[in-house]
Structure formats: structure tokens, C-alpha cells
A = this chain, B = another copy of it.
Amino acid sequence: MLSGPRRHPRPLMADSVLTTKPSIDSILARAARLASDYLSENKNRDRLVVDWLPPGKLREKLGLKLPKEGRGLEAAFTDAQSFLKRSVRTGHPYFLNQLYTGSDPAALLGEWIASLANASMYTYEVAPVFTLLEEELVRKMGKMAGWEDCEGIFNPGGSISNLMAVLAARNAAFPHAKQRGLLAEDRPVLFCSEEAHYSVPRAASVAGIGIDAARKVPVDSIGRMRPDALASMIQKALADGFKPFMVSATCGTTMPGAFDPLEELADLCEEHKLWLHADAAFGGSVLFSKKHRNLMDGVERTNSLSWNPHKTMGVPLSCSALLLPEKGQLKATNALDADYLFHDTAEAYCDRGDMTIQCGRRVDVLKLWLSWQSHGDEGYRRRVERAFDLTASGRDLLKLRDSFELVREPEGCTLLFRFLPPSLREQERDEAWNEKLERANITLRERLKHEGRIMLNYASLDGLATLRLVLTHPDLTVEDLRFILDEMERAGANL
């Protein structure tokens, strides 16, 4: 019989512990106070979103230098405070610049505990709890997509999720590519819309297929991929001797937040045996809402689905899931069976490391898990539906004012519009006018950024700069929207 494990001969403690412990305690306690104050200040609309400085001046102000001799924990805390002060307040309701905003305290707690535990998600044995949490979240999110069972993995962002979808689709259509590389006779092409995220053509580039092989399908008046156009592009590709293998649909496009029609795309994919991927990095959270779920009708017919809870669900970056209804695809695509990591133990069936293109992998599931516990399905549903309602109100507000022109009817939670400066309002719309309008909109947006009270983004749409408001912050109100439009009119009055 084995004797029990021996007790350690003495309570070995490094000398450093006793002296540094109070300081660690106090620094972490101060970090907690800093955090709760910071989160609470996010509610105050009079706080700047950014205290703007250009790179040269900011560099000077921060005086960045790494020391030869250590400056200790106290100095690190002082630096952290000053960095936070000069950073963009992405949790402020007027941070409307990106597709993510809002900081959820339960999710922040999850991130804090995850970094404390500092597990890596490759094997059950080193990350037992987080492995089970990931399994459970994958199952739950898959169920919401309409799948009784599915597989999935959390990735560092939607671009990597989309890349892994392209790799899984490539592996299904060209299974030799993993071992032998792409062959001359393969001639793969995939399709996404003109307004798909750039990570899709880039995934084609990464995967050795090339950007040109990611063919861009035209969109309709509100930004949805046109199935008729896709159908003829597939025919054309086949006639030219290419092998179409994938359609990447977007649920919530980057600019107008539009949803490609999954049912019709699924029909085409079935007909031509193509892999249907749904890039729902932005839009996936509509699955919480009975009212808006129809935007993703047909999602249960896709072969893979990207969904980023770090967007509308308010968890810190990054948290992106790739879900697939057919089990085994991720391992088939990515496994290399490294024997120094993956062992033939009783719990090996839980190991998730071979499902990804990563090896070490952060715990991105705890923050989502705790946030979900805190809010429940219903809390997320309310958040999503609130954003849709607010977008409808924002659209109506815009339409009531002469200073703005709606560019797209919103399908999701994004408003696309242009500011019409007083000087241009009554003039004839020719090319010179267009140029002036473009300049005015970019200037207005830069002014707002430099003032630091409101951050919003823009991009070119139909050849003209178009402003974008992403209205997913859970504290944003109609009153706020009025204020934001007032501010734009004020800052753009002399343009």
C-alpha cells in the first residue's frame, strides 16, 4: 500500500512574502476602489470620453521609459492611474465609435479572477473548471442557434473565429490541404458580401487561397447580400472552372449593421454543397430576442457561426465564439496531436487545445459565464431589445432635423447618416457639393473627437463619408441621442 503524501518539512515561505504582502494587499485594494470609481464615473455624461492629445504630445506627457532597476509595485500603480486617465473611456455612453461599448461589472470580475487563476485552456488537467464552463457555454449558445448539440471554441476575436471557419470549410472541401497544401487543381473560391468584414478576405489570404478568391457579392438597398447576385456569381465561377466551397454571410455588418438573408443563402448552399458560415460577431446577440430573432432565421442551417459576446453583451475584449453543428470538424482541421501536451488519459476527451490554431489560450469564458449568471437570458434580451428600440427612436429623431440625412434604413442597432451643414443645405448636389459634404462630415467628426465629449466613427459608403452611431450602450437614452445630435449641430454650425 502507498503511504499518504508527506507533509512538507517546514512552512517554506520566501522572506519576501512578509514584507511585500501588505503592499500587494494595499495595491489591489486601491485598484478595486479605482475600478469602482471609474465604472461609476462612466455614468456621468459630463466626463470626457477622451482627453485628446496627439501621439507626440502624449508621448512627451507620459515620459515612457523602462527602468534598469525596478521601481516597485507602488510606482506601477501610479503609472496605471495616469495611463487610465489618458485612455479612452470605452464604457462611456458617448463612446459610439466601435461595435463594442459598456463595461459590465460581473464580466469585469470574471476577467479579474481569470487573470488571477491564469489557466491555459489546452487541457482539462490544467484548466478543469474553465474547460467545463466553455463546454457549457458552447452548448447553450449552440442551442440558441437551434442546435441540439454542437461543438465550438472561444477565440481571441472575431477575425480569428472567421479565419477558423474558413479553415474548417477549406478542410471539408479540400481535405488534402492540411497535410499537403493547396494543389493547382483546387482553384477554391468563397463568397461574402461587399460589406462583409475585412477579416473574411484576409482569412482567404492567410489560408493561401488569396484575397481575389474571396468574391464580393453586391448588397441591396439596406446592405444585405443579394441571393440572386450570389446565384449568378456561383454559376459564373463554376463555368470558369473554379471550385466554390463557402459562403460567408454577415449577421450585423460593420457599417449599417445589416443581416444577410440566411434562409435564401442556405438554399443556395445546399444546392451547390457549399459551407455556409454566419459571421454574427456583431449580430449574434439578437438570438436572445424573440422579437428580433427573425433577422437570423435560417441560422440553424449554417455550418459555422461566429458570435462575439464582447460586443453587445458588454463583456471585456476579447470574447468570441465559433460554433459548428457538426462535431469533429475543429479537431479534423486543427489537430496535430502534440504528444508533449495531449495525453491519452481518462479525461483527455475533454481537452480542447487541439480544436484551435492556438496552443496556450486565455480563459475568455469566465467573464461571459459570470455576466450571464448576473443578467440571465432575460437581462441580455432586455439589453438587446432596448438597443433596437433606441435605434428606431434615433432614426426618427434624425428624420425630424434638416441638419441630417439618413443614409440607410437601419436593420440592426446602427445609424448611418450624413450631417448637412447650413452652408450646403439649399445648394445643388453636384460633384463639388459632394466633396464639400464629405469634408464637412470628416471635419465634424474630428472636431468632436478633439473636444473629447463624443466619439463616433465614419467610413465611405457609396463613395461618400458616412457617419455611424452604434447604439448598444445599455445606459444610452433618447435624451442622450437628442443631446448628441444637438452637439453635432453646434460643432458643425460653421462648416
Bound-state Cα–Cα, A485 to B38, Å: 49
What residue in chain B is nearest A203 (Cβ atoms)?
A: B357
Q: Are A340 and B53 within 8 A (Cβ)?
A: no
Residues facing B in A357-382 (CB within 8 A) are 357-363, 366-367, 369-379
> What 0/1 readout, one digit per residue, does chain A (39-51) give for beta carbons within 8 Å of chain B?
1100111100010
Q: Are A362 and B318 within 8 A (Cβ)?
A: yes
Q: Are B5 and A359 within 8 A (Cβ)?
A: no
Q: Are B84 and A113 within 8 A (Cβ)?
A: yes
Residues facing B in A58-80 (CB within 8 A) are 58-59, 62, 64-73, 75-77, 79-80
Q: Which residues of the other chain, B, contact A79 by a CB distance below 8 angstroms? A: 369-370, 373
CB-defined A-B contacts under 8 Å, sample of 16? A3-B490, A5-B453, A7-B46, A9-B483, A12-B43, A28-B108, A55-B132, A76-B110, A80-B109, A97-B125, A125-B455, A156-B160, A157-B360, A184-B184, A198-B341, A341-B459
Q: Are B160 and A358 within 8 A (Cβ)?
A: yes
Q: Are B98 and A108 within 8 A (Cβ)?
A: no
Counting CB contacts under 8 A, is A179 at the interface? yes
- 5 closest cross-chain pairs (CB), A and B: A208-B208, A181-B210, A184-B184, A340-B459, A70-B376
Counting CB contacts under 8 A, is A88 at the interface? yes
Counting CB contacts under 8 A, is A266 at the interface? no
Q: Which residues of the other chain, B, contact A62 by a CB distance below 8 angstroms? A: 129, 132
Counting CB contacts under 8 A, is A112 at the interface? yes
Counting CB contacts under 8 A, is A232 at the interface? no
Bound-state Cα–Cα, A458 to B345, Å: 12
Query: A19-27, A145-153, A297-305, A390-398: which one contacts chain B?
Result: A19-27
Q: Which residues of the other chain, B, contact A455 by a CB distance below 8 angstroms? A: 125-126
A38 to B: closest C-beta gap in Å: 6
Bound-state Cα–Cα, A133 to B75, Å: 16
Q: Could you say how many copies of this chain the assembly holds?
A: 2
Q: Are A182 and B179 within 8 A (Cβ)?
A: no
Residues facing B in A469-495 (CB within 8 A) are 475, 477, 479-480, 483, 486-487, 490-491, 493-494
Q: Which residues of the other chain, B, contact A255 by a CB distance below 8 angstroms? A: 340
What residue in chain B is nearest A111 (Cβ atoms)?
A: B115
Q: Are B68 and A377 within 8 A (Cβ)?
A: yes
Q: Are A38 and B8 within 8 A (Cβ)?
A: no
Bound-state Cα–Cα, A358 to B364, Å: 16
Q: Which residues of the other chain, B, contact A84 by a CB distance below 8 angstroms? A: 113, 116-117
Q: Which residues of the other chain, B, contact A341 by a CB distance below 8 angstroms? A: 198, 457, 459
What residue in chain B is nearest A457 (Cβ atoms)?
A: B340
Bound-state Cα–Cα, A72 to B318, Å: 22
Counting CB contacts under 8 A, is A231 at the interface? no
A218 to B: closest C-beta gap in Å: 18
Bound-state Cα–Cα, A466 to B442, Å: 62
Counting CB contacts under 8 A, is A347 at the interface? yes
Bound-state Cα–Cα, A278 to B196, Å: 35
> What 0/1 readout, one digit per residue, does chain A (6-38) give for beta carbons within 8 Å of chain B?
111101111001001100110111011111101
> What 0/1 readout, one digit per residue, does chain A (438-451) give for beta carbons within 8 Å of chain B?
00001000110101
Counting CB contacts under 8 A, is A307 at the interface? no
Q: Are A140 and B66 within 8 A (Cβ)?
A: yes
**Besides A310-B360, A318-B362, A341-B457, 8 other A-B contacts (C-beta < 8 A):** A29-B32, A29-B36, A55-B131, A76-B110, A158-B360, A197-B359, A207-B208, A318-B360
